[in-house]
A and B are shown apart, each in its own frame.
Chain A
Amino acid sequence: MAQILVVDDSSTVREEVSTFLRGGGLDVVTAVDGKDGLAKLKSDPAIKLVVADVNMPNMDGLTMVEKIRSELKNSTVNLIMLTTESSPSMKERGKAAGVKGWIVKPFKGPAVLETFRKLVA
C-alpha cells in the first residue's frame, strides 16, 4: 500500500524521485504516463499524494488530474505537478483541476520532503 504515486515518462526522474522519497521513509509507487497513473491510483486507495509530470505520452499530467477529479469524485488525494512547465496558463489549468502545488524541474528533494510528509500524514 503506497503513500505516494510518482508519474513521469522519464525513468531517470521516476528513479531519482522515488529513491529520494523512499530514503525519506515514504512508500512510493510509480507510473509511466497519465493513463498508467490513473489506473494505479484507482487500484490503490492508500495513495495520499500524486506527484506528476505534465508532458507525457498517451495521457498528459493535467488531463490525468482532471480525470482524477471527475472520475474519483470522493478522492481526497493531493496532487502536485513536477514539470519543466511554468506558464501561468498551465498553472491556472492545474489549479482549476484541484492541483495543490507546482514544482518546476529539476527535482530538489530536501526542499519538499517535509511538505510531502505532511500531505501524506
Chain B
Amino acid sequence: MNDKAVSKVLVLDNSTAHARTIKEFCERNDLVPLKVRKESVAAVLRTNVDLGAILYSEAYGDTPAETVRIVKEIRALRPELPIIIRREKSSTLDDLAPELRSGCCRAYTAEDLDSLKAAIDQYIFSLIYPNALLRGISEIMDSVLSGQFPNQQVSFDTPYIVHDRIIFGEVLSVIQLESNWCRGYMMLQTEERAFLDLAGEAPGSDDATLFRRVNDRLSEVTNLAWGAFKNRYIGDSTTIASARVQVPLVVNHQHKYISFGTENPQLCFRYTLTDMLMGSTSTLYVRFVFNLNWSPEDFREIAPDADGLVSSGDLELF
C-alpha cells in the first residue's frame, strides 16, 4: 500500500484553462480530486463521507449570485469542510462579497499555488501521521478483519485525511485511545444489514436479535483492533494526569453528524469486505480522532520482548 495519507477534495471549478494546473497540483500534494456536475453538488455533499476540503472557484456559478448561493448551500450542508477559493487576480479574501469571504477559508490564484499549498497544509495536512503508524494500523485492521470474517476478502483504500463529520451507516463504535503521544478515539462505522449479511446472520432472524448481534460483532472487531493498537503503540505508558482533559462528544441523529469538539482533520481507513461467493460487499470506516492530544514526535512502536514472544491465540503458561 501507499503508506502516506491522501485526502479527497471536491473540485468545483469549471475552468478548462486551469484544470490541468489543479490536477497536477493535486497529484504533487497527495490530493485526490473529485469533480461533479453542478446540479449534483448537494447530493454528493449529503452522501460523500470522506472529503478533506473543497476547491472552489470565484467563477463557479453562472452568475455572482449563484456562486454565493452555492457556497451558502455548502456551508449549510457541510460546515466542517474548508472551502478554498480560486480567484483570477488576488490571493486574498479581502475584496470578495461578504458571504463568500465568510464562507471560504483561503484564496489562491492559478499563478500563486503557494497560497493553495499553505491552505491545504493548514486545513488538511495539519496533523502529521507517521508512515509507520499508517502502515501499522492497516496491518492491524487487515489481521482483525481477516480473522473475524475468514470467508470474506478484505480490501482497503489508501488512508484518507478527512474533515467531514458525517456518520456512515447505522452502527458505530467508539473507544478511547490514551497514551503519552496521543489522546482521542478510534471510531468504526458500518451499515447494519450488509455487515450482518457478511457475518452470516440469517435475514429471517427477528430484528431484536439482529440488532444485538451487529452491536456485539462490531464491538468485538473494535476490541480486537484496540487491543492490537494498544499492544503495538501504547504498552504500559500512562497519560500525564494533568492532561486528562475531556470534551463532550455531540451526536446529531437528524443530520447523521458526530462532533468530537475540534475542527482537526481525522485519519480515515475505508475497508471493503467482499463475499467471494455471493459478490455482496460491506463497507467499514475506521477513523482515528486525536482530538485531545497529538504529539507524533513522541510516537514509537513497542518492540516485542523476544524472550517472551508468544503468538496471539497461543497459551503462554506462567
Contact = CB atoms under 8 A, between A and B. Distances in A.
A110 to B, nearest CB: 9
Contact of A83 (B217, B227, B236): B227
A100 interface: yes
A43 interface: no
Interface in B131-190: 147-148
A114 to B, nearest CB: 10
Name A's interface SS.
mixed
A103 B316 contact: yes
Given A84-B231, A87-B231, A88-B305, A100 B217 contact: no
A105 B314 contact: no
A111 B227 contact: no
Given A105-B227, A106-B224, A111-B315, A12 B235 contact: no
Nearest to A112: B315
A89 B237 CA distance: 10
Interface string B286-318: 000000000000000000010010101111111
Contacts of A111: 313-315
B216 interface: yes
B54 interface: no
Contact of B312 (A13, A88, A104): A104
Interface string A1-35: 00000000011110000000000000000000000
Nearest to B148: A106
Interface of A: 10-13, 55, 80, 83-89, 91, 94-95, 99-108, 111-112, 115
A94 B310 CA distance: 16
7 contacts: A84-B226, A85-B230, A91-B318, A102-B318, A105-B224, A105-B313, A106-B313
A108 B318 CA distance: 19
Interface string B209-246: 00010001101100110111011000110000000000
B216 A104 contact: no
Contacts of B223: 10, 55, 84, 105
Interface residues of B, number: 26
Interface in B53-83: none
A28 B220 CA distance: 21
Contacts of B317: 100-101, 115
Name B's interface SS.
helix
A103 B315 contact: yes
Given A55-B223, A85-B227, 13 more contacts: A10-B220, A12-B219, A84-B227, A84-B228, A86-B227, A87-B230, A101-B318, A102-B315, A102-B316, A103-B316, A104-B310, A104-B312, A105-B223
- Sorted from nearest, which 10 A-B pairs have the closest CB atoms? A84-B227, A108-B313, A104-B312, A12-B220, A101-B317, A86-B231, A102-B316, A112-B315, A89-B236, A10-B220
A87 B316 contact: no
Contacts of A94: 318
A84 B224 contact: yes
B230 to A, nearest CB: 7
Interface in B106-134: none
A79 to B, nearest CB: 10
Nearest to A100: B318
B13 to A, nearest CB: 47
A10 B310 CA distance: 24
Contacts of A87: 230-231, 235-236
A115 B216 contact: no
